[in-house]
Amino acid sequence: MPRSGTSVRWWMYGSPTPKLDALLADPEAVLAGPGILARELTGRKRFFRVDAGAAEPALYVKVFRLPPGAKRLRYFWRRSKARREHAIATRLARLGFEVAAPVAVGEKRRRGVLERSYSVIREIEARDLVRLLGGNTLRGAERRALLERFAVLARRLHDAGVDQEDFAPNNFLARPDGTLVLIDFERCRVRWWPLGDKRFTQLAKLHRRDLGVSRSDRLRFLRAYLGAGSDRAGRRAAWERIWPEFRRIRRHDARHAEASAFREGRNLAREGDAWVMRARVTAKTISLELDVETARRCWLRAQQLERLGLPALRPVRLSGGRVELLDPGSALPRAPANHVIARSLAALAPWGHFRAPPQWLFTAHNALLRNPHAFELDL
């Protein structure tokens, strides 16, 4: 039911607790105090974790801010992102899916114009699916069983018309009993009919993520997704539908990286005349001294190759003709060097060509491109 004790109007959907009541009474004060900022201050969305001690579960708070101007007017008659997220979570729950739905949502409006909205979710006893699949806590058989359950859930979602803009395992949690729980519905739509061929786009989005599993396990996922009646020809036909979508999405990723390579944002900041990746400010680096134009191309290409998940050193800082790339630490590869290089070349080959001889830095398992500007993307 609506509550409006402050300038924020709240809708409560869960049972009240002392910490939740304090948050609703003065959200900015609570989030400035015990709240832990889990994402950078830039961008329109901020994400907080509010610890409540042993007495009650922690609260996760998403704050959606709108910049002044015409974008606020779009929500004059519309629900905010926070209220829309709750509506989608409710509909998914009615369809029989386990969801981590908001226990409270709030809107701050001035004369009907939306300024910000809040979505509050209680912590549940569940683990991140990405960490479970990519970590060492599960044995091989347990990991495969979890992956197959994820595939079955993905097929149920697509058959129910659930269209997630960011279909990825980081939007799912796994309870101790094996139940999978959906989270993060702000970029999700529920259609009135199955996704049909659009499901191949969803699977392509999933394929571009690092699931932390082997290629054979990815094939097991596809077999479980298609159902017990699928044969090798059916899986091959499905992959032939997924691959072009995967390439299209990856090209879009590369263009997006190019557009944001010299734009301050969530990941990128300015330090005087220099550009720096926020999360790597203190990281150990390898420096390249180049002419200014080549340095800018190296910086851009390193960001694009990172976005595509290709084997190259990651960008850290650009200052004039000096490019600093993340030092992963060198090691003798466990496999013969020519085999490791061949794997990296095979990964790069579908995306472009070399304009100069490549230089490599070896880790225990990979050969990473040390001069990203030597590679030219074919978009």
pLDDT per residue as tens digits for the range 143-200? 888 989 999 999 999 999 999 888 888 889 999 888 999 998 888 999 999 999 999 9
Contacts by 274-281 with C-beta closer than 8 Å and gap 24+?
274/317, 274/318, 274/319, 274/320, 275/299, 275/317, 275/318, 275/319, 276/316, 276/317, 276/318, 277/314, 277/315, 277/316, 277/317, 278/40, 280/314, 280/316, 280/317, 280/326
The verdict on 19 and 82 lying in the same domain is yes
pLDDT at residue 33 tops 90: no
Which of these ranges, 15-29, 41-55, 178-192, has the smallest mean pLDDT?
A: 41-55
Domain boundary among 90, 122, 154: 122
The verdict on 250 and 288 lying in the same domain is no
Domain boundary among 236, 255, 274: 255
pLDDT at residue 102 tops 50: yes
The verdict on 74 and 115 lying in the same domain is yes
CATH number of the domain that 169 lies in? 1.10.510
The verdict on 232 and 313 lying in the same domain is no
The verdict on 290 and 373 lying in the same domain is yes
Q: How far apart are CA 307 and CA 73, in angstroms?
A: 33
The verdict on 267 and 228 lying in the same domain is no
The verdict on 156 and 224 lying in the same domain is yes
Q: How far apart are CA 243 and CA 246, in angstroms?
A: 5
The verdict on 137 and 230 lying in the same domain is yes
Q: How many domains does the chain have?
A: 3
pLDDT given at position 218: 83
pTM: 0.81
Domain boundary among 222, 255, 288: 255
Interval 300-325: pLDDT, tens: 999 999 998 899 999 999 999 999 99
The verdict on 8 and 87 lying in the same domain is yes
* Domain extent at residue 85: 2-122
The verdict on 244 and 135 lying in the same domain is yes
The verdict on 6 and 87 lying in the same domain is yes
Q: Quick one: pLDDT band at residue 141, thresholds 50, 70, 90?
A: confident
The verdict on 210 and 314 lying in the same domain is no
